[in-house]
Amino acid sequence: MPGPDSPITVLRPAVPADVPAVAAIWRSGWCDGHRGHVPDELVAVRTPASFAARAAARVGDTVVATRDGAVAGFVVVVGDEVEQLYVAAEHRGAGVAGALLARAEEVVRRRGHRRAWLAVVAGNARARRFYERQGWADEGPFEYAAEGPGGPVPVPCHRYVKQFLVP
């Protein structure tokens, strides 16, 4: 539980000014969780410029978490997919990821979906444990079609889902 001097996490829609921070968090987190677990072809094209371009293209689908006014993490929701969820290393363990995931679930439910899904790279054990602790179920392995410069790059992942109660 945060102490009286702990920063408060604020969630808000992303704005274009957030793109540099989102891109930096995304690249750092992506490298942490993906290097050694995805094809070299994908690693080669995940440059700082590629993350900046992708972050700019997804501003409208992104919610950021801020702490003391700085972007601490973000989540991207497209349809019923929680497409991206990353937290800056210095904010991990502070509840930022849980708050972002809860907001993503809320967005998916508001869109009328009965379940949300996301892909986790098979070798990213830390992320897989996190989603399981948050009540997500592993439906098993599948190949995710990641964006590559010459078309989709198949990445070994696990599909996680969360069912929502229908009122």
Beta pairing partners, 156: 143
What is the count of structural domains for the chain? 1
Higher pLDDT, 9 or 5: 9
Q: Is 48 left (phi over 0), alpha (psi -120 to 50) or beta?
A: alpha
Q: Is the model's pLDDT at 149 over the cut of 90?
A: no
CA dihedral 66, 126, 41, 74 (to 10 degrees): -10
What average pLDDT is seen over the chain?
A: 93
Q: What is the pLDDT of residue 1?
A: 46
Please check whether residue 107 is in contact with residue 80, taking contact to mean a CB–CB distance below 8 angstroms.
no
The stretch 8-22 carries a mean pLDDT of: 97
CA dihedral 23, 10, 80, 55 (to 10 degrees): -10
Higher pLDDT, 125 or 2: 125
Instruction: Answer yes or no: is 22 within a domain.
Output: yes
Convert the pLDDT of each residue in 76-135 to its tens digit: 999 999 999 999 999 999 999 999 999 999 999 999 999 999 999 999 999 999 999 999
Per-residue pLDDT band for 53 (boundaries 50, 70, 90) equals very high
Instruction: Answer yes or no: is 41 within a domain.
Output: yes
Q: What is the pLDDT of residue 148?
A: 82
Range of the domain at 94: 9-163
Tell how far CA 162 is from the center of its chain: 15
Q: What is the pLDDT of residue 147?
A: 84
Instruction: Answer yes or no: is 2 within a domain.
Output: no
What is the residue type of 31? C
Instruction: Answer yes or no: is 61 within a domain.
Output: yes
Name the residue among 143, 142, 138, 116 with its Cα closest to residue 125. Answer: 138
pLDDT more than 70, % of the chain: 95
Instruction: Answer yes or no: is 125 within a domain.
Output: yes
Q: What is the pLDDT of residue 166?
A: 65
Q: Is the model's pLDDT at 58 over the cut of 80?
A: yes
Q: What is the pLDDT of residue 96?
A: 97
Looking at residue 25, which CATH number applies to its domain? Answer: 3.40.630.30
d(CA 152, CA 7) in angstroms, rounded, equals: 40
